[in-house]
């Protein structure tokens, strides 16, 4: 697995990098043997007292997992974030059947639809706005744009991916109905599912 360790105003020495690599390789081998890439970023909290660790793990094609941790030192922050990653993998490992595993590691690219994911800044900025996004005179500024894939999934697989990636919403093509669906985390902690009615 390819592991990148970086620090935002935090020194990441060889001992910390070795600790991170050993920890992630152990988790990967134990819970999810086809993890291919991980980005680990260390930073300080707003007051500068605690260390923060953010782990973004690519566990297969189009399957991402995220964990966050906070601690008195960088090693402890990593251990907390790594435990979050391991906990999510343990929670869903029993629910992952052979089909879901092969979907994560040997996905047929023709099953997904190409899309783009855009991050917009709420305030207007005419110089950086994308004219293609302008509607009725509004031109939100594009902060980031990345290629994305809309996967063909069951509702259960979509909820699992949303939780593993630690994202609030996921769009997918429903394998049963072939329609575009959305699952999302509601404010009350439950899962919402939008399944447009076709006539």
169 compared with 131, residue with greater pLDDT: 169
Going by C-beta distance under 8 Å and a sequence separation of 6 or more, which residues neighbour residue 179? Answer: 173, 195, 196, 198
Q: What is the CATH number of domain 151-199?
A: 3.30.505.50
- Residue range 21-48, pLDDT digits in tens: 999 888 877 776 566 788 999 999 888 7
Within this chain, domains 2-101 and 151-199 share the same CATH topology: no
- Contacts of residue 74, defined as CB under 8 A and 6 or more positions apart, other chains included, come to 10, 12, 16, 42, 51, 53
Q: Structural domain boundaries of the chain?
A: 2-101, 151-199
| Superfamily of segment(s) 2-101 | Ribosome hibernation promotion factor-like (3.30.160.100)
């Amino acid at each position: 697995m390819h592991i990148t360790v970086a620090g935002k105003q935090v020194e990441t020495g060889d001992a910390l990098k070795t600790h991170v690599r050993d920890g992630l390789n152990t988790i990967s081998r134990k819970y999810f043997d086809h993890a291919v890439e991980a980005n680990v970023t260390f930073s300080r909290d707003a007051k500068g007292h605690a260390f923060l660790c953010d782990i973004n793990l690519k566990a297969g094609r189009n399957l991402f997992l995220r964990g966050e941790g906070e601690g008195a030192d960088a090693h402890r922050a990593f251990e907390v974030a790594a435990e979050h990653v391991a906990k999510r993998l343990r929670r869903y490992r029993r629910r992952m059947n052979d089909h879901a595993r092969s979907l994560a590691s040997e996905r047929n690219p023709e099953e997904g639809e190409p899309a783009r994911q855009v991050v917009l800044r709420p305030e207007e900025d005419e110089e950086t706005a994308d004219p293609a996004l302008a509607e009725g005179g509004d031109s939100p500024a594009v902060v980031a744009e990345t290629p994305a894939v809309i996967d063909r999934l069951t509702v259960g697989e979509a909820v699992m991916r949303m939780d593993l990636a630690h994202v609030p919403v996921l769009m997918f093509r429903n394998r049963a109905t072939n329609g575009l669906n959305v699952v999302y985390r509601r404010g009350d902690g439950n899962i919402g599912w939008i399944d447009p009615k076709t006539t």
